[in-house]
Amino acid sequence: MEKREAKTAPVQTAAKSAAEVKEETAAVKETAVKAEAKDTAKKETAKKETAAKKTTKKTPAKKTESKKAEKIEEIYLQFHGQEIFTKDVMERAKQAYIAEGHRESSIKSIRLYIKPEENMAYYVINEKIAGGVTL
């Protein structure tokens, strides 16, 4: 009987060593994954830092120049306590022309005559069609 016990003992140690090997392999893989995660985290922070440096280097001088280039041109007519915005009157004249059955794309020229004493604006479109709108 002693021989049988001797034979089973090495098998158990071999099984233990295989289990230990599996655990060690899993531990090695786990540390490798952690190391990769740290490396990718370092790379991401480095990318963020370089991106932050790039954004701080931009100069807003070009943006301010483009704002200076934009001009606001508005014409207001004030008469007897009324204030008339000429752009609105021009749009009303165009809408009246379109309401008559014409297309807006057919407008080649438009002239607007504002008569505040009559509370009217008269228009001539394409040197042919004349009309009027109220202010």
| Per-residue pLDDT at 56 | 54
3 pLDDT more than 70: no
Written as six digits, the tokens of 118 are 């009559």
Contact (CB, 8 A) for 131 and 98: no
For all residues of the chain together, what is the average pLDDT?
76
- CA torsion 46-47-48-52 (nearest 10°) is 100
Q: Quick one: which H or E segment has residue 120?
A: strand 120-125
Q: What is the mean pLDDT of residues 112-135?
A: 91
User: Among 131, 54, 115, which residue's Cα sits nearest to residue 123?
Assistant: 131
Place 76 in a pLDDT band, splitting at 50, 70 and 90.
Answer: confident
Q: Tell the burial category of 104 from Cβ atoms under 10 Å away from its Cβ (0-12, 13-18, 19+).
A: exposed
| Per-residue pLDDT at 35 | 67
The whole-angstrom separation of Cα 122 and Cα 97 is 12
For residues 24 and 131, which has the higher predicted lDDT (pLDDT)?
131
User: 37-65 burial, b for 16+ CB within 10 Å, e for fewer?
Assistant: eeeeeeeeeeeeeeeeeeeeeeeeeeeee
What tens digit of pLDDT does each residue of 15-54 get? 556 667 677 777 667 776 676 766 776 777 666 666 666 5
108 pLDDT more than 90: yes
